[in-house]
Amino acid sequence: MEDNKKLNIVMFPWLAFGHMLPFLQLSKRLATKGHHIFFVSTPRNLKRLPNIPENLAPLITLVPLPLPRVENLPPNAEATTDVGFSMGFDLLKKAYDGLQDPMKLFLENSVTTYPLDWIIYDFSCYWLPPIAEKLGIQKAFFSVFGARMLTILGPLSQDNGPAADSFTNAEFLTTPPPWIPFPKSTVYFLPYEDFFSDLIVVRGCLELEGEYLQLVDKLIAEKTVLPVGLLPPSMEESPEDEVHNSIFGWLKKQRSGSVVYVALGSEVEPSQEQLTELALGLELSKLPFLWAFRRSTGSSADLPDGFVERTQDHGLVWMSWAPQLKILQHDSVGGFLTHAGFSSIIETLMFGKPLIMLPLMVDQGINARFMVEIRVGVEIPRNKEDGSFTRSSVAQSLTLVLKDEAGKMYRDEAKKYKPVIANESLHGQYIDKFINHLINYKFET
């Protein structure tokens, strides 16, 4: 109706950087079109976000809400990366629930001064939609996971879908949902998500997961499901500092496509056995490698004795923050050994590089199997019962994807995705459609 209307939009991501960063990407894209964003998180999380470009700063208001302290939650812990997944998730979830009153207060105060048109929120805040509803704010649930996770959740209505309690049944969680008509993916599970929203927004595009997006649209027929594109990150300007020089100086000396980049993200906690097999497999492959190694707070696992010394002629273990996007872009990097987080996958395919995947938690297994399905990489073979894997399977997977003739297929297929993922105008069109919907929604319903 009024297509040049400027909206006020509240963003409220879960306390994990794998969520805050896609929410921030989405915020920047909306702000670029002149909409005002109120990005709500905790003070320390907001401080750790990448700098907001100067031209967008007036349109992205950071709203710090101090995180209520919860017993056993370490001081200063405000994101999953501060506590580790296994011990910290429940504590953080409890603290996050404690944001209910401050959030309510913020929203109530805001609407007395200016209208809030939409709130875009994450999974795990079941209490937010009723508050927004009361204040007349439209609600959108944003799935940073992509369409595959939603197809696994299945239909909303119990007539065609499983009863809610089947979601807690282990057998149900690990067998293919009966309503997925194409027999492809092989492992399934379900997070808790709610569907009180007016709109479901998915980080995804038809060009990558069209089949799944169409299926989600059918399964959740009661709601509008909108893809917002993949939100590929923009190359942040980073200064030519010391970090830059040592990493890129080293990369420059390596042959084109020869280096395996290794990073498991900051939340994943591999066990000592997993880390040992991974490191020794990497060593066994003899491939040059750059390993961004950051031990998660909740983990005590370390690299095996002597590993760094034995591999220093062809490997670089980098123990602090690494500029992942620029590393992946570098011509020497031939593949990424990754935990298969969705953002890492998008960043890899953006540069047409293949994946060697070791999924360790939440949606990563689903992501990895999907990438195997589209033949842009392999999953390190593992024991189906206990998930264990060996150094030789690590070495074989790496050599296959980076080097062997038999693995050329993965390298070729990955290259084909570059024009899709890196296509700014394609992803821009998704954002435009999304904004159109946000503006016109009220008038349609």
d(CA 81, CA 392): 30
Question: Helix H segments across 220-299?
Answer: 242-252, 272-285
d(CA 154, CA 89): 25
Per DSSP, 274 falls in state H
Q: For residues 388 and 429, which CB has a smaller minimum distance to ligand NAG in the complex?
A: 429
Residue type, 374: I
CB 351 within 8 Å of CB 233: no
CA distances (Å), origin 219, targets 151, 193, 327, 366: 7, 15, 39, 18
> Could you give the count of Cα atoms lying within 13 Å of 91 in the half-sphere of its Cβ?
21
Token pair listed for 339: 């935990």
Q: For residues 32 and 423, which CB has a smaller minimum distance to ligand NAG in the complex?
A: 423
Going along 177-235, which residue ranges are E strands?
Answer: 199-202, 224-227
Least distance in angstroms from the C-beta of 377 to ligand NAG? 22
Examine the residue annotation and report whether 19 is marked as an active-site residue of this protein. yes
Residue of 117, 122, 198, 363 with catalytic role: 122
Bridge partners of residue 121, in order along the sequence:
12, 141
Q: For residues 139 and 353, which CB has a smaller minimum distance to ligand NAG in the complex?
A: 353
Residue of 19, 35, 36, 427 with catalytic role: 19
Q: For residues 329 and 423, which CB has a smaller minimum distance to ligand NAG in the complex?
A: 423
Least distance in angstroms from the C-beta of 426 to ligand NAG? 4
CB 202 within 8 Å of CB 191: no
Q: For residues 56 and 206, which CB has a smaller minimum distance to ligand NAG in the complex?
A: 206
Q: State the CB neighbour count (10 A cutoff) for residue 10.
A: 25
Q: For residues 166 and 423, which CB has a smaller minimum distance to ligand NAG in the complex?
A: 423
CB 61 within 8 Å of CB 38: yes
User: Residues with Cβ < 8 Å from 17, sequence gap 6 or more?
Assistant: 48, 79, 80, 81, 266
Run of H or E including 85: helix 85-97
> Could you give the count of Cα atoms lying within 13 Å of 400 in the half-sphere of its Cβ?
22
d(CA 39, CA 44): 13
Residue ranges in contact with ligand NAG by CB under 6 A: 419, 423, 425-426
Least distance in angstroms from the C-beta of 371 to ligand NAG? 20
Q: Which of 274, 275, 308, 304 is nearest to 290 (CA)?
A: 308
Examine the residue annotation and report whether 122 is marked as an active-site residue of this protein. yes
CB 230 within 8 Å of CB 209: no
Q: For residues 13 and 232, which CB has a smaller minimum distance to ligand NAG in the complex?
A: 232
Per DSSP, 314 falls in state T
Least distance in angstroms from the C-beta of 236 to ligand NAG? 23
CB 370 within 8 Å of CB 439: no
Q: For residues 210 and 419, which CB has a smaller minimum distance to ligand NAG in the complex?
A: 419
Per DSSP, 42 falls in state -
Q: For residues 74 and 428, which CB has a smaller minimum distance to ligand NAG in the complex?
A: 428
d(CA 6, CA 9): 10
Bridge partners of residue 118, in order along the sequence:
9, 138
Residues annotated as catalytic (active site), given as ranges: 19, 122
